[in-house]
Structure 1
């Protein structure tokens, strides 16, 4: 547990110091708003493409730790490249390298941790690890804001990010070898198609795409919704903090117990019901008391859903395909659905305003029969 905790702490701290300030870094290096959009959009596409490729490589060569450590090292060096780049072409190249390297950094730690936690007699709690990661991300944003305020330059976050990712690479190499687990007969180490033939895995991807994708409108437009309703900037910050606190609480506390008692299918259903309630409230009102009740539902709509997905992977996917499975989950379950719903949700919000949240509630409603079929 301590070695995995060190990995998650360094990893999510690194995400936290860079993610909120990357657009500011690009602007500081001379990129225009339009160029920033191109750099980030191209980076997202490369990240989504890199995830399944890296997952398959890790499984094919039975080397998830080596692939993860190499990705972390490359990502740290590529992030420093932002500071040396001048001009759009150089920034685009640095962004391409950094995003392609960070693609595997999302799913591979979960592949290692979920496999270790599922081993007989394991004393590793994945929920506590993931909760620690969420807390470290928040600490990283605070650290980055303090550092930028003290130095007056957004570029300082690049060095903080690189230091955290180098520490995460070292922690990865110090992890114990993944334990052997009983496996299902899936031919082709690291192959993608055999995984997609597993009914439970396909259904899990569908459920994740529906429930996780429904968050896209919240991520992109909740702040605008609250500003239009006259909620102060300080209160908006606390609303976002409240959702993260609920996420950490579910990961570290009742989430694993709920999963053990109800099973993945019912936890997915619970997350979908929470999503229906959460997005219906967002569609109907922006009153602060209602938001204070709706935001904690993030603990169910995100954290509980994620724990259920990890349980399906642990129980249904053979261990020699775990990295590929995690990469497919991150790519198709979360990444592509989030990107698609961000575009579609933006159009809906432009047409009907906050009533677009009814569409997000409808996505969660569609998830209910699929969750029932998961069992």
Structure 2
């Protein structure tokens, strides 16, 4: 295995997450410019979400099976970029749906495979400091924001073509960046068809520590569903101006980047994966309890930075445990299942959040705090210190 170079991973993550930031916020508006109805926009977005949930674990398992994580990642990025360009030419709902589904299927495994490569990179000493996954992931979060801001300056209400072109170019750049990323220290598994890919999924799920990662991440990440869907509506209805809402939202994003880059790695080293996971869940209890009881700008400005703990710190803790318990030969499969678990729970909670919010308004945030409470025992017992596992499953 070649020496792990942090810069190679930074370039990969910056290109990949900037591509997400350039397009993700603008998909509904882009489809609207294609004279697609509101109902059809919902159908497009829902169908893409379902495809991502299925494609992520399947493609990642095949990448593990082939032992070619970088090649599969590059291929997925290229296909997704091509699908973005194809969306510009699509002029019917069927063609838009087809291109959107292809892009969703190709994009789904990219972050899982990238994390499998970076999380399992051998620690290297750089000026006395270890190679940190948090630095790499933090650079990705920051580039997401920059991608959104940059594209926002290029588009108009009727011309969103720059969204697709920037997205496509950055995805191609991410594919090219895989050339400099060292391959994982593992040999390709023996070919065995779809059956072997399925076996890798089952092998991952048999690992108790990983099941704990799924449980805690699904509960705590899933608790963000109400906030993501209705926080802005709640704040607007309470009379907060758009500038204040923008500030509150930005606070959370900046806290995420700050935790990834700076205090997260330190907290993880001091507290361990279990302690960090418990702190993240506790932050969720505080955050959603306050959000459910008040719309005071002062209090909201104090709890929004807790996003750095409820998301970034928990992600670092999960990655630390995943590295400890998951053999490299099934790392991409594990990363995809990690994303699948939290994505599925978040989607389900988002689906029911409308009905809950319609009935209980701000109090609807309190059950989200309850989900974080439920995460405590899974974090305490499941994130205990574990022996590093290596090798492959036969």
Normalising by structure 2, report the TM-score: 0.90
Deviations 1:125-176 (A, max 9, x none): 1101111111100001101110004x95112110000000000000012212
Name which of structure 1's ranges 36-45 and 84-93 shifts more when overlaid on structure 2: 84-93
Aligned partner of 2:79 in structure 1 is 74
Closer, same or farther: CA 117–153 of 1 in aligned 2, 3 Å: farther
Structure 2 counterpart of 1:343, from 351, 354, 360 = 351
Instruction: Kindly report which structure 2 residues correspond to 1:255-270, keeping only aligned pairs within 5 A, or say none.
Output: 255-270=264-279
The whole-number CA distance in structure 1 between the counterparts of 2:324 and 2:39 is 45
Instruction: Kindly report which structure 2 residues correspond to 1:168-179, keeping only aligned pairs within 5 A, or say none.
Output: 168-179=174-185
Instruction: Kindly report which structure 2 residues correspond to 1:194-209, keeping only aligned pairs within 5 A, or say none.
Output: 194-209=203-218
Deviations 1:329-366 (A, max 9, x none): 0111x210110110122221111111010100000010
**What is the aligned length?**
367
List gaps (5 residues or longer) in structure 1. 182-187
- Give the SS at the match of 1:231: coil
The whole-number CA distance in structure 1 between the counterparts of 2:11 and 2:249 is 26
The answer on 1:277 being equivalent to 2:286 is yes
Structure 2 counterpart of 1:116, from 99, 111, 121 = 121
CA contact (8 A) 2:252 2:304 kept: yes
List gaps (5 residues or longer) in structure 2. 1-5, 188-195, 385-394
CA contact (8 A) 2:79 2:106 kept: yes
CA contact (8 A) 1:83 1:155 kept: yes
Structure 2 counterpart of 1:59, from 64, 88, 103 = 64
Superposition misfits of 4+ residues, deviation over 2 angstroms: 117-124
Structure 2 counterpart of 1:223, from 232, 250, 261 = 232
Deviations 1:58-100 (A, max 9, x none): 1111111011000000000001111111121111111111111
The whole-number CA distance in structure 2 between the counterparts of 1:326 and 1:25 is 30
CA contact (8 A) 2:78 2:175 kept: yes
CA contact (8 A) 1:249 1:299 kept: yes
The whole-number CA distance in structure 1 between the counterparts of 2:7 and 2:179 is 14
CA contact (8 A) 1:117 1:123 kept: no
- Give the SS at the match of 2:240: coil
Aligned partner of 1:295 in structure 2 is 304
CA contact (8 A) 1:117 1:126 kept: no
User: Offset at 1:123?
Assistant: 4.7
Structure 2 counterpart of 1:127, from 129, 134, 151 = 134
Deviations 1:301-322 (A, max 9, x none): 0001100110111000001110
User: Offset at 1:367?
Assistant: 0.6
Structure 1 counterpart of 2:317, from 289, 305, 308 = 308
Structure 2 counterpart of 1:10, from 6, 15, 18 = 15
The answer on 1:103 being equivalent to 2:101 is no
The answer on 1:136 being equivalent to 2:143 is yes
The whole-number CA distance in structure 1 between the counterparts of 2:259 and 2:180 is 28
Structure 1 counterpart of 2:165, from 154, 159, 165 = 159
The whole-number CA distance in structure 2 between the counterparts of 1:119 and 1:180 is 18
Normalising by structure 1, report the TM-score: 0.95
